[in-house]
Amino acid sequence: MSRVFFLFKKSFCNFGLSVILLCASLSNASADTSGLPNFTGLFEQASPAVVNISTLAKAKARQQIYGPGGEELPEIFRRYFGIPLPDEGASGNSQPMSLGSGFIISSDGYILTNNHVVDGADQIIVRLSDRSERPAELIGADKRSDLALLKIESDRSLPVVKIGDSEGVKPGEWVAAIGSPFNFEYSITKGIVSALNRSLPSDSYVPFIQTDVPINPGNSGGPLFNMEGEVIGINSQIFTRSGGFMGLSFAIPVDHVMWAVDQLKDKGYVTRGWLGVAIQDVDRDLAESFGLERPMGALVSQVVPGGPADKAKLHPGDIIVRFNNRAISNSGILPMSVGVIKPGEKAKLEFIRNGKRKLVDVEVGQLPDENSSAPEKNGDKPVSDKNPLGVKVAELDENYRSKLRLEEDVQGLVVIGVNRGAGRSIGLRQGDVITDLNNRSVTTVSEFKKVVAKLPKNRSISMRVIRGGNPGYITFRLQE
């Protein structure tokens, strides 16, 4: 009995101790929890300005291309021009493309989101916090930074977010995201800032904010808030091996966003500074081989002939350590630093050559379009892309003829930008040469403007295009 009692007594004592420890643990947990931030006020304040974005794309009908004699060209030519065959989509059918998030930055209806949310869409639909839906116009987009600026019309003043300052963001601070993951609208998730100035392979011109905020499909384009309810970034990407969130998410800093917004409003696209160099990181072995005390800077592996760096006498093997008074600790910082400089402006560039530091002035050039086979150069006379076709063209010269391998007798205009409108829907690409529009030859920008201004609505319009040396006709319609 005594033994049994003893055991019972011992167990009882342990139970009592366990209760005390549990109570202590709960007390500590309560104390710890009381120090965590409360996001309810942030959500109530900011969520009315967050929107849900959905897109639709029409399945393209087969569009005919004819040869010189009026005969329809073979299937391979249609495929080359990116025009679908009859079984590749039924005409007029709109199919959902993507879902994402965005936020209102002005009471008259300007909205920011990611480019990948709306890229290729024929229709963009914005759903507001009151559940009303409005069609949106794509004002401008920038693929490099994954930004898109939309505009909706409203008969009332719309709620707007507060724009913060990403320059003051620090690792470890609390942040929150509001968006529509998997179309679960107005979901809030929280986390901390993990790191700053992250450079990703696909977006070397963006100094990303890395966080551990849970971001999933549908969050794209939504805002990242600080604890004051201010937007400090746009949620853009995640790192994943499974297709879902793994604790690594990346946001575009709001300072970079607002720098781009002014250009998107003004001209529909973003221009960036350009040095004309290929660079790589300096690791320990390279640092040692170049006589550096530690890894630093951006190692120049190639200099583009005739580019800004070439004119400033930079050579392969130079290590750029400072640009425009900003230290270049690794190669990822250089494109970001150069990109925000206005083309034509001069900047100080410091580099190491043969163990000695040198300082030069460099006149920053304009970064060629990433998809362009015929980049702009000084002297071009491009026409604005704010026309019904949504294309930007330049007159052919020896530079373009050489790049596109055109014969001297070819006359026309080279497409150097395709932003939106009929030009995108019919498959025009940068590097295409337009020789005739609506049965009229176009060889100058002024001729192009005049012809475009008189294009009829709601009937077929023909365009003769040369791509890769192959001429052909395509047709399209402009809607009222």
Question: 235: domain CATH number?
Answer: 2.40.10.10
Residue ranges for the binding site? 116, 146, 218-220
**Are 253 and 169 part of one and the same domain?**
yes
CA distance linking residue 298 with residue 281, whole number of Å: 6
**Are 282 and 237 part of one and the same domain?**
no
CA distance linking residue 362 with residue 309, whole number of Å: 7
Residue 296 lies in a domain: yes
Among this protein's residues, is 256 annotated catalytic? no
**Are 131 and 69 part of one and the same domain?**
yes
220, 331, 337, 373: the active-site residue: 220
Among this protein's residues, is 116 annotated catalytic? yes
* Residues constituting the chain: 480
Phi, psi of 256 (to 5 degrees): -65, -40
Which of 116, 151, 186 is where one domain is finished? 151
Q: Which residue range is the domain that position 402 belongs to? A: 391-476
pLDDT in tens, the chain (480 residues): 333 333 333 343 444 444 444 444 444 544 455 678 899 999 999 999 999 999 987 654 444 433 333 334 443 333 333 334 444 444 445 566 668 999 999 999 999 999 999 998 889 999 999 999 999 999 999 998 999 999 999 999 999 999 999 988 999 999 999 999 888 999 999 999 999 988 876 667 888 999 999 988 889 999 999 999 999 999 998 887 766 677 889 999 999 999 999 999 988 889 999 999 988 888 888 888 888 899 999 999 888 889 999 999 999 889 999 999 999 988 888 998 999 999 999 999 999 999 999 999 999 999 876 433 333 433 444 555 567 787 888 888 877 887 788 888 789 999 887 765 566 677 788 889 999 888 888 999 889 988 988 888 887 787 888 888 777 777 777 876
CA-nearest of 185, 125, 179, 128 to 155 is 128
CA distance linking residue 461 with residue 465, whole number of Å: 13
- The domain that holds 309 is classified in CATH as 2.30.42.10
**Are 260 and 278 part of one and the same domain?**
no
* Count: domains in the chain: 4
**Are 176 and 117 part of one and the same domain?**
no
47, 54, 98, 116: the active-site residue: 116
Burial 424-456 (b: 16+ CB within 10 A, else e): bbbbbbbbbbbbbbeeeebebbeebeebbeebe
Residue 315 lies in a domain: yes
How many CB atoms are located within 10 Å of the residue 33 CB? Answer: 8
Residue ranges for the binding site for substrate? 116, 146, 218-220
Taking the model in full, what pTM does it have? 0.64
**Are 259 and 288 part of one and the same domain?**
no
Among this protein's residues, is 220 annotated catalytic? yes
Chain centroid offset of residue 303 CA: 26
CA-nearest of 155, 156, 259 to 207 is 259
